[in-house]
Amino acid sequence: MPRTRVPGAVLQAGCLGALCLALAAGAGRAAEQAAPLSLRQALETASARDAGISGNRQKIARQTTNIQSAKDALRPSLALAGDTTSVGDNIPVATLTLSQVLFDWGLARSKIRSASQARIKAVADLKSAVEDLALNVANLYIEVAIDKIKLRKTQDYLEFAQRIEKVSNRRVTAGAADRSEIARARLEVARAQDQIAQLDSDRQTAMTELEFYTGQPVAEIGPPPALSVTRRFKSSAAVIRAAMNAPDYLSAKAEVQIAAAAVDTARASRKPKIILKAVGLQELDGGHGTSASIGITTSLSFDAGNLAGRGVQGARQDLAAAKANQLAVERKLQNQLRTYVSQIQSLATTEQAQSAQLTQAEAVRQVYEQQFTGGQRELVDVLTAGRDLYDAQIDETDTFSQRLKTEYEAAHAVGMLGSLIIASGKRN
């Protein structure tokens, strides 16, 4: 075939286009990698690699197997045995027995119900493990976010202290003040620098812990989402509903069902089973001696405890204890959630008051700094005003941190933290 010559300009344009596409793709990947790691992403990654959560998943699988094992009691069973006859020529005989339970007074089904509830409890335990992990990771996100805010406020205070130091230098040079004023201003600068170093160290420590949970380097993280707990649980009905869907409550409820099934098991164990059996025998000496039979059998064995009914009595006591524990868990969860909501509302009110104080403190510092620069105010006055503003800013930040952590603890208490974090990530 004749070769088609491609013009040089077209070839160059094609190469340039391919290069641009490659650069654009690389830039897109770099931008994706540089994007802050959201709390949702961190939680998904951490839960996928957490050994404790993996162990809980295996427990659920084991309980699923237990359910199937309990159901096997309703299916036919096969038994094979070999022995020698006790009379005659002691000929070895193989016995094949096929059995099917016809009626057991609900014994097998009570065991199936117990195994099913045990699986529900294992699922609740898994949910609790995920919630604990979510709270640990979320607290680290909150710590990093709060440290960032404090770093900005401390940097602002450092810049203020450095401005005051420069003014003090000019005052000493002009003979308007002695050198002790410079030393006092430099002390405040050193304090601010030390605080910045401490906050940065705390932030790095939290980031290192995040790397442990996610199993990968974390350069930057996104802000922790607001959960709006007071809006979600503003009514008593919402509090009760949340408490009754909490993992702790579901686990306690499953314990009640397991105890109730144990009562049925104890009752059924005191009654005879009705079993259909088919038995076949084959002599193993090379002869042709065989026999077969089919019939219905029943059996019942009693020990002293069964005769006295202590098995049923003990099972009923376990059931009463499980019901009492379920009620206690329900009341505890409702009380915790209502307390958390009250604390969040109180902290929000405190934040508003602190915000109003900050406006006034900032105005006072600004005026005092201007007066100090003009020689109308003493150093101690302007430093006190600056320090008061900085302390008020830190107090407001601490209140915000406490409110945010309380919101997360409230959601964690009723097993909603993980789902709320995932939902907030999808909205974003």
**C-alpha to C-alpha distance for 165 and 369, rounded to whole angstroms:** 12
What are the structure tokens assigned to 199, written together? Answer: 């906050």
What confidence score (pLDDT) does residue 100 get?
83
pLDDT in tens, the chain (428 residues): 444 444 444 334 444 444 343 434 444 444 444 588 999 999 999 999 999 999 999 999 999 999 999 998 888 888 888 776 554 566 777 788 888 888 888 889 999 999 999 999 999 999 999 999 999 999 999 999 999 999 999 999 999 999 999 988 888 887 777 778 888 989 999 999 999 999 999 999 999 999 999 999 998 999 999 888 889 998 999 999 999 999 999 999 999 999 999 999 998 888 888 888 888 777 666 656 567 777 677 766 655 556 556 888 999 999 999 999 999 999 999 999 999 999 999 999 999 999 989 999 999 999 999 998 888 888 899 999 999 999 999 999 999 999 999 999 999 999 999 999 988 766 55
Contact 181, 172 (CB under 8 A): yes
Quickly list H helices, 174-219.
179-214
The three-point CA angle 397-401-402 to 5° equals 120
Which residue type occupies 211? E
What confidence score (pLDDT) does residue 337 get?
95
What confidence score (pLDDT) does residue 28 get?
46
**C-alpha to C-alpha distance for 42 and 134, rounded to whole angstroms:** 9
Instruction: Give residues with Cβ within 8 angstroms of 388, minimum separation 6.
Output: 361, 364, 365
What phi, psi does 95 have (nearest 5°)?
A: -120, 125
3-state secondary structure of 100: strand
What confidence score (pLDDT) does residue 21 get?
37
pTM: 0.81
402 HSE (CA, 13 A, CB side): 16
Which residue type occupies 122? A
**C-alpha to C-alpha distance for 52 and 177, rounded to whole angstroms:** 65
What confidence score (pLDDT) does residue 105 get?
85
